Amino acid sequence: MCISNCAVCKWVRIFKGKDSGETILRDQKRSGRPISASVTAIREKVDCTIRANRRVKQKEIADEVGISKERVHHIVTTVLSYQKVSARWVPRQLTVEMKAQRKDMCTQLLERYNAKGEAFMQRILTENESWVHHYDPECKAQLMEYRHKTSPNPRKFKVVASARKVFFTIFWSSPHGISGARANCEP
């Protein structure tokens, strides 16, 4: 498909402007949203909004700043290098003393293993306990936050009791696999 000679001449007249000596190289003012979504002030406003509330949604940022959601996505991910990450569930928050006790226990077990070898490992009976919740107050998607790639992942401690839960205890030993299981229900 070819462009007609008349259309090319019209574009040349528009490009050169009304006078033959005047050349228009800048966009003319027109109606619509201004092309100012990537200026430094907008970037700083988006960054401050995220730092104030790490769980803020891109639509909320767009409404607050006054730019499109697509532009917010570009600024958040490309310009500011944020990523939306979920908090890692951990069963409880360990104190410094609890961590020290666990380290001491592991050191003692390692010393016994070094002294007795595989015979020590064969005599270990392992037990694991876990609560299985029927209802969790917050889902993983609700806990997502914006973080930089170098930032540590957030942690969420389970502090709210759920409506119903089941307590499982499992025992197993090295040569025989699982040797027993028990479940207790609590309302």
- For residue 104, the model assigns a pLDDT of 93
- For residue 33, the model assigns a pLDDT of 58
3-state secondary structure of 157: strand
Fold of 35-80: Arc Repressor Mutant, subunit A (1.10.10)
Are the beta carbons of 88 and 54 closer than 8 angstroms? no
Q: How confident is the model at residue 13 (pLDDT cuts 50, 70, 90)?
A: confident
Instruction: Tell me the average pLDDT of the chain.
Output: 76
| Res. 126: pLDDT tops 50 | yes
- For residue 122, the model assigns a pLDDT of 78
- For residue 89, the model assigns a pLDDT of 73
Q: What percent of the chain has pLDDT over 70?
A: 65
| Res. 47: pLDDT tops 90 | yes
Q: How far is CA 21 from CA 18, 24, 110, 143, in A?
A: 9, 10, 88, 61
Residue spans of the domains in the chain: they are 35-80, 88-142+150-186
Task: Give the residues across from 127 on adjacent strands.
Answer: 171
Q: How confident is the model at residue 183 (pLDDT cuts 50, 70, 90)?
A: very low
| Res. 179: pLDDT tops 50 | no
Mean pLDDT of all residues in 128-156: 71
Q: In 3D, which of 98, 53, 89 has the Cα closest to residue 162?
A: 89
Mean pLDDT of all residues in 5-16: 80
Q: How confident is the model at residue 32 (pLDDT cuts 50, 70, 90)?
A: low
- For residue 187, the model assigns a pLDDT of 44
